[in-house]
A and B are shown apart, each in its own frame.
Chain A
Amino acid sequence: MTGHIMPRKIYFMVFGCLLALTALTTLAAYVDLDAYLGTKIIPMNTVVALLIAACKATLVALFFMHVKYSSHLIKVVVAAGLFWMAILIALTMSDYKTRNLHIPNPPESWQSSISQPDR
């Protein structure tokens, strides 16, 4: 086998799913999905949007990019790329979340560079 020839039907089914998920993620953005944990707001809209994006990316990779039918070696390389990305995000964010960072306010001087209307 040199490259798996997939039935046309699968490509069109994946295509349909991708379009449906795009419509779903767009519509979901207009619905307030915020969840409350005590007083803390959990931005569920972002979580839902990213989950849908991950599903779409998985569909593209598995079927359009033939990962489902590839050798273990290829799958390991794909997983390694994603694992590196997870390290990058997780370790960077753990640093920002566990340190008391002083975030300076933007300088007020930006306003002088923009012409203001008469008040």
Chain B
Amino acid sequence: MADAHAALPHSGALKEQFDDLEQQHEASALGMWVFLATEVMFFGGLFAAYTIFRNLYYPGFVAGSHLLEVPFGATNTAVLICSSLTMAMAVRSAQTGKRRALIVYLLCTMALGLAFLGIKFHFEWYHDYLDGIVPGVHFAPSPELLAHWAQLHVAPPHVEMFMYFYFVMTGVHALHMIVGVGILSVLVIMAYQGKFGPDRFNTVEMSGLYWHFVDIIWIFLFPLLYLLGGRFR
């Protein structure tokens, strides 16, 4: 082990508190995964609260879910999956020491992340506001919608509760995306300065873990919010 990296202490890639690069990599990964476990707890609370109210107000939640546009949700899921692929390829480029490919993949990931946010803000939230289905701020559904809910015996405050969950969960997720785009922009600058290479890619890989985690959250948010109880009715 020590022989394999005998020249490395002089390269500066290995911090002095670690025995070898493997231990250093393990420490980074462990730290990042512990942070992601706290993120599971953060989103877990929201998912648990969502599960409870979904059981209590099921018809209202289904009616609320039907207000969301599945094509936008599905498109955004695909956009995030593409960004996860480009992020994974960015990490691989850092591992294999391909600087130009690393920068290109990081920029692709950033662009896809911004595309996700663009669809979310412009085509979804903005139109929700115009339609008067933003809870608290502007919850004034059209008379047609109220009549439709009355037919289904759905109480509008129950629909509003679904919209609270929708906006808080997608809002907190979008906040994570914005933070992720910020991290990516720092990575692009560092990559441009040539700070990554086959023996120093931990920063890229750990940022990748964060990006993939945010993708996983969306993978669960999409069916729970957009496809709740099916769309066949």
Contact = CB atoms under 8 A, between A and B. Distances in A.
B190 to A, nearest CB: 17
Contacts of B141: 114
Interface in A15-52: 15, 18-19, 22-23, 25-26, 29-34, 43, 45-46, 49-50, 52
Interface string A69-109: 01101100110111011001100110010000001011100
Secondary structure type dominating chain B contacts: helix
Contacts, number: 164
B45 interface: yes
A32 to B, nearest CB: 5
A79 to B, nearest CB: 10
A108 to B, nearest CB: 10
A49 B227 contact: yes
B196 to A, nearest CB: 12
B189 interface: no
Given A81-B36, A88-B45, A89-B51, A57 B219 contact: yes
B231 interface: yes
B102 interface: no
Given A15-B85, A46-B229, A88-B48, 16 more contacts: A3-B25, A6-B92, A8-B89, A11-B88, A18-B81, A22-B78, A30-B232, A31-B232, A45-B230, A61-B216, A64-B88, A73-B26, A77-B30, A77-B34, A78-B33, A81-B41
